[in-house]
Amino acid sequence: MFRAIGVLFVAAALVCGVSGASAAGGDEHTIKLTVASSQSTSLAWVGTLHTLIVPELNRRLEARGSVYHIRWTEAYGGALYKYQDTLEAIDIGLADMGWVGTLWELSKLPLQNVTYYAPFVSDDFRTTVDVLNELHRTVPAMTDAWTAQNVHFLGASALDTYHLLTKFPVHSIADLRGRKILAPGPSAAWLEGTGAVAVDGSLTTYYEQIQTGVADGVITILTGAAPNRLHEVAPYITLVGLGSQVTGALAVNLDTWNRLPQDVRSVLDELGPEYSKAVADEISKRYDASLARMQKEGATVTELSLEEKQKWLAAMPDIATRWTAATERRGIPAGDVLRAYMNAMRAHGIRPLRDWDRPQ
């Protein structure tokens, strides 16, 4: 469906001159690039596009003595496309580059969702993103997945660990039975065995969905919950620690990438891992502040006990094995990626509550 309407968006974008790596105003050394996101700059992984990528690319080009300069068009907050269309928007060139939400791309980018099929592994978002970037360097299938979508991967973005925000208090997983909980994409599998019903959505839709009764709560991140004021409609915060996840990446349209001069590509390749680190740094600053802010504004904060976490895990089916089997039937090496991910996490000193790559 998006491709059908996407053609219209692309036509409009081209008329407005907001897309495509092209010379500006006849100056062959000025390159027009559009960077975009479906979400606002209040979120770390989007704000870092504005604060790091946009100014730093030109600064480094100048420092290198490059003849090239980027004329940027920035389009955030869904100005060009909505949350479920981030991959296809970059694929078709609606934007030259931007944040792609991999968690909505279970079919097209299954390997990029490996962390979601291994919950309760680690709350350490720095290690999580470092490992996913490492997998992109060492496992060809990871980068091949992006290339198949006409996209060039630059750097992953990880989030702080997932918790529960609900309209009702949660002291045990039994309290979730029969409740409608927002859990988009692969995170829906985390609710299996709890008796809760998973509902799809995104940070931009959660508030209204909870307010209108579409959902009773949400599994989400505190750094996203606070700026979206989710605690106003779901004032019970239960610290669960389902784990830090990689939900997306900075990526570039492959046609744009191939047209860019080599020195521009070299700087962008440098900036990819720095983008990952900058997002992690920003999340680190925001996590405690987000929790404190919501608590100050009336939220009730409790922590789920280790015993209840273990009950949650015991009730959850082996979602990792189910995912790897289904994905490998498509000829995609999900088992290899899962093992590489878990081995790398353990090599970094992480002790998961469950070793998803080993028989239970």
- Predicted confidence at residue 136, as pLDDT, reads 98
Higher pLDDT, 185 or 298: 298
- Predicted confidence at residue 19, as pLDDT, reads 55
Q: Could you report the per-residue pLDDT of 203-243, keeping only the tens digit for each?
A: 889 999 999 999 999 999 999 899 899 999 999 999 999 99
Q: Is the pLDDT of residue 15 over 80?
A: no
In contact, 185 and 235? CB cutoff 8 Å: no
Higher pLDDT, 18 or 95: 95
Q: Could you report the per-residue pLDDT of 70-118, keeping only the tens digit for each?
A: 999 999 999 999 988 999 999 999 999 999 999 889 999 999 999 999 9
Helix (H) or strand (E) segment spanning residue 320: helix 319-328
- Predicted confidence at residue 100, as pLDDT, reads 98
Going along the chain from its start, the domains and CATH numbers come out as 2-105+135-158+247-286 (3.40.190.170), 162-244+288-347 (3.40.190.170)
Q: CA-based Rg of the chain, rounded to a whole angstrom?
A: 21
- Predicted confidence at residue 184, as pLDDT, reads 87
Q: Is the pLDDT of residue 173 over 50?
A: yes
Q: Is the pLDDT of residue 12 over 90?
A: no
- Predicted confidence at residue 25, as pLDDT, reads 56
206 contact partners, CB below 8 Å, separation of at least 6:
182, 215, 218, 220, 228, 230
Q: Is the pLDDT of residue 8 over 50?
A: no
242 contact partners, CB below 8 Å, separation of at least 6:
119, 120, 161, 162, 163, 187, 190, 219
In contact, 337 and 327? CB cutoff 8 Å: no
